Amino acid sequence: MQHAEVARQSGSSSHNEQHFMIGNLDESEFVKILHQHLSPTAPIQLEENLCGREPQVRKIKQALYAPGRSIFIHGDRGVGKTSLAQTVAYKHQSANRDPVFLVCTPQTTFGTIMRGVINALEQPQRIRHSGVATTHQGTLGVPGVASYQVIRQPQQIDIAAAAADPVDDLNHVVALLSQISANTKEDTVVVIDEFDRIASDEERSHFADFIKQIGDQKITVRFVFCGVGESLDKLLGAHGSCYRYLESVELPRLSWDARWEIVDRAAAALKVTVGDRPRFRIAAISDGFPHYVHLVCEKLFWEMFEDTEPCIAAGSGHYTSAVAASVLGIEQHLKQTYDSAIMQNADGFEEVLWAVADHSDLFRRPDSIYESYLNIMRAANRTALDRHIFAARLRTLKSARCNQIVATNGAGWLHFRESIVRGYVRLRAEEQGVELALEYQAAKVKQGSWPQRGAKRGRFGTTQRDWQQMQNPDEEDSGS
Ligand SMILES: Nc1ncnc2c1ncn2[C@@H]1O[C@H](COP(=O)(O)OP(=O)(O)O)[C@@H](O)[C@H]1O
Ligand SMILES: [Mg+2]
């Protein structure tokens, strides 16, 4: 038995001087395995680490075979766009050259980014490093007035030259790219990331013309764009004619199976197990945003590694400490958004925010949120606000005073302005002993092994996909 073996090894290690509390791994071995499988902030570049994106990888692969077609990956911040783009870029790219990665900033123009692309492509080919190289990141343009950032792995770009010499003219760009295509036989992929950050509508619309032109000219250099946004119209403008040259890939939140896959793969590599409860809670808190799964797992395995007792299974103590460590280790932007919204929890804002985050529906009606709120307050044994005061708190959460953490759509349904915030709200509640997002519990956990807080399945605004997942928990999320 694998675990018996691990236990035996762990037991014997306790007699040694060293403290190897996961199997017989020393710290460097542990860290190596941990970071091969968990990367809370760095994008994924290897297909084997990309969980739950098979339909999208397949779709992009087919699009890359189609001459002249560009790809646009769009979805919420943190959902995994860069990871998908980089993984497919490495997969499709010929072996003797690395893909080109460029990241837009608000000042990016069509001309400067194209100069960056052309400079990168004109560099002599090089032997690719085996494995994944370190990311080099530079800023193009005058310091402090970045035009765009260039991430190269591991090629370098002449940044100053690119900034000084933009190629604004579309025909000129197309001619240069045609020449490069004619001279090179290999597949080359260019990823233009964070496209939504380009501030100028006009600059963004130049890319629509560009996509059409390179489609017509059958240029072999393939472009993959990534941007935050629910629709391409908002990103590219109403340039209907460019859409037939584009494969649009909308990235949904990760399915439950994909969330669990991240946990299970890392645990298996470390030869430990994560019990049902923490495994479920990690997936529930994440809300399908993989960053949280990676982060909480990383902290969880560190807790196990640093335990003074040898361990092969994550206990509830490890999990609780991992949640607390994750709250502290979170990206500053998310922490600030939350802290300023709850205003030191003056007047019970924190629990109202928890109530908003208590369901996987992206859009929720105020009465559904109030129902969550009452459940939460009951379970936590706290006194609930009256419905009218609650409604006033919700309105305040939408105001500038609370950084507009919550917004409403035209029909008055509420949502987090940035969907990724919801995972952090859940994490903060969990740290204080309040489990949110239990609504999947009945459907997902077949053995019903831990207490339920009277949560119900979605009644309001549940999407087709949410329903499918709730009805058929084992079914893969087909995505879009
Ligand atoms: N399909 C996936 N499977 C496992 N982890 C993922 C997946 N997609 C993204 N991640 C992880 O989630 C985090 C955020 O992903 P990223 O690609 O940067 O998102 P985005 O570009 O949409 O903001 C990264 O740390 C990455 O390792
Ligand atoms: Mg990204």
CA dist 429 and 34 (Å) reads 27
Q: Which ligand is nearest to the CA of 196?
A: 2
**Ligand found nearest the CA of 56:** 1
Shortest-distance atom of ligand 1 to CA 78? 23
| Cα four-point dihedral sign 274, 279, 285, 287 | positive
51 ligand 1 Cβ < 6 A:
yes
CA of 226 to the centre of ligand 2 (A): 7
Distance, CA of 51 to chain centre: 12
Residue nearest to atom 15 of ligand 1 (CA): 80
Kind of pairing, strands 136-140 and 148-152? Answer: antiparallel
Q: 85 in ligand 1 pocket by Cβ < 6 Å? A: no
Which SS3 state, helix, strand or coil, does residue 407 take? strand
Tokens of 169: 């003219």
**Integer CA distances (angstroms), 19 to 6, 64, 269, in order:** 14, 50, 19
Helix locations, 229-289, DSSP H: 232-236, 256-270, 276-286
pLDDT in tens, 345-372: 778 999 999 999 999 888 999 999 999 9
- Mean pLDDT over 198-203 rounds to 90
Q: Which atom of ligand 1 is nearest to the CA of 226?
A: 21
Q: Is 39 in the pocket of ligand 1 (CB under 6 A)?
A: yes
With a 6 Å cutoff on the Cβ, whether 232 touches ligand 1 is: no
More confident call, 126 vs 287: 287
Section 104-113 average pLDDT: 93
Is the model's pLDDT at 472 over the cut of 60?
Answer: no
Q: Which residues contact 365 (CB under 8 A, 6 or more apart)?
A: 412, 413, 414, 460, 461
pLDDT of residue 299: 97
Spatial distance between the Cα atoms of 389 and 402, rounded to a whole number of angstroms: 16
Question: Phi, psi at residue 367, to the nearest 5°?
Answer: -70, -30
> Per mean pLDDT, which range of 226-230, 256-260, 405-409 is the poorest?
226-230
Predicted confidence (pLDDT) at residue 194 exceeds the cutoff of 50: yes
| Percent residues over pLDDT 70 in the chain | 78
Q: Which strands form 246-250's sheet, in the order they lie side by side? A: 136-140, 148-152, 100-104, 188-193, 221-228, 70-75, 246-250
3-state secondary structure of 200: coil
Q: Which residue is it, tokens 């960053």?
A: 291
